[in-house]
Amino acid sequence: MSRRFGLRPLWLAALLVAAFVLGTTSPDWLRLARDPDSSPAPFWTEAQSTSLTQEERSNIDIYNRASPATVNITSTVLKRGWFFEMYPVEESGSGFLMDEEGRILTNYHVIKGDAPQLEVTLADESRHKAEVLATDEANDLALIRIDSDQPLKHLTLGDSDNLEVGQKVLAIGNPFGLEGTLTTGVISSLGRSIRSRDGVLEDMIQTDAAINPGNSGGPLLDSSGNV
């Protein structure tokens, strides 16, 4: 019994401290209850809008100029199955318009196959049949063309001889069928050789910009928006 009553002063002291803290640092809802005319302080502060950096503005400008000229390419070829039946196989990749005549540069492996049926989807989601003009299997390049009665935005080819390691680059493509995806990075190395299914590709540009399936054929751009 004496031990139980001995704790009473501690409880009283704790209640007095709590009352003092509550009275001096009362929350907004309690002040509002005591004085309905007072306006409570906000529970959060509104994020202040920050100005874009020069690099961000450059990335946005390049994307706005280059994405309308970047296209999605769907290639459908017929293949023979185990029982000699024919079935369609569909592959997709990217490419970019080189001129107002509708010529598109892409990778050869995007349109590879016997008599492929090519369909190009532009940034405005219009679809066009395409024909193959030329292929360079050794360098994994292909040139195709579409017909359009509308003006076509196109990109400008840059000079790869003047590239420097560490230079900023931007890649635009359609990875996983998602249109107009932008990734950024730098040139990691120059003059690389890589082995592909069709041989060795020489004098390649290595970059740390994310390149995903479906990006093949899309442009790699410098800070001026040149391919």
Closest by Cα among 107, 104, 80, 105 to 91: 107
109 sits in which H/E element:
helix 108-111
- Please, what's the b/e burial string for 33-62 (b: 16 or more CB within 10 A of its CB; e: otherwise)? eeeeeeeeeeeeeeeeeeeeeeeeebbeeb
Task: Give the residue numbers marked as catalytic.
Answer: 109, 140, 216
Between CA 148 and CA 49 the distance in angstroms is: 42
* Residue type at position 131: E
